[in-house]
Amino acid sequence: MIGQLHLERLRRAAWNVSPKLVGEDEVGLAPSGVDLVLIMNTYQFRDCREARNRDYLRELARSLRAGGRVIIADGFVHTAGWASPRGDGPMECGNLPPARLAALGVPHLTTLRITPLVRHRYRYVPHEEPGYVMVLQRAASATAP
């Protein structure tokens, strides 16, 4: 995927876009270095370890310039256990619901909006809910590192 993004960046001469592959607990961005972070269909927030997710969101906030935003989009929310992509067994609670995830960003990130994302012609199974697009902004009270 990163290679495809690099090719698309070249094709469109989108020099302000920098695809980057980082470890699952790493933000990989310089402090106060970006205006926008887009996170799509990721497993980053799909576990119950709130301290881990809180730390990650705090680091995301630190990477944003004043007024910078984070957009998190996910196609659906697992509300029951799910199989880990690493093969280490099912997680107990599945994906954090967007409102709960947004609350973990406080006081570093302010929630601007959470919009349900319903896939038309997609059949949700009993343990899934429609997805969401969430927009968070670096809080005015967030301090630079």
CATH number, domain with residue 86: 3.40.50.150
Is 67 a member of any domain?
Answer: yes
pLDDT of residue 32: 94
pLDDT of residue 39: 86
Is 12 a member of any domain?
Answer: no
- pLDDT of residue 110 exceeding 60: yes
pTM across the whole model: 0.76
Each residue's pLDDT tens digit, 64-78 = 999 999 999 887 666
Each residue's pLDDT tens digit, 25-64 = 888 999 999 999 988 877 556 566 788 888 989 999 999 9
For the chain, percent of residues with pLDDT exceeding 70? 75
For the chain, percent of residues with pLDDT exceeding 90? 34
Which letter, b or e, does each residue of 94-107 get, where b requires 16 or more Cβ atoms within 10 Å of its Cβ? bbbbbeebbebbee
Domain span holding position 113:
28-138
CB atoms within 10 A of CB 57: 24
Per-residue pLDDT band at 113 (split at 50, 70, 90): very high
Helix (H) or strand (E) holding 115: strand 109-117
Total domain count, the chain: 1
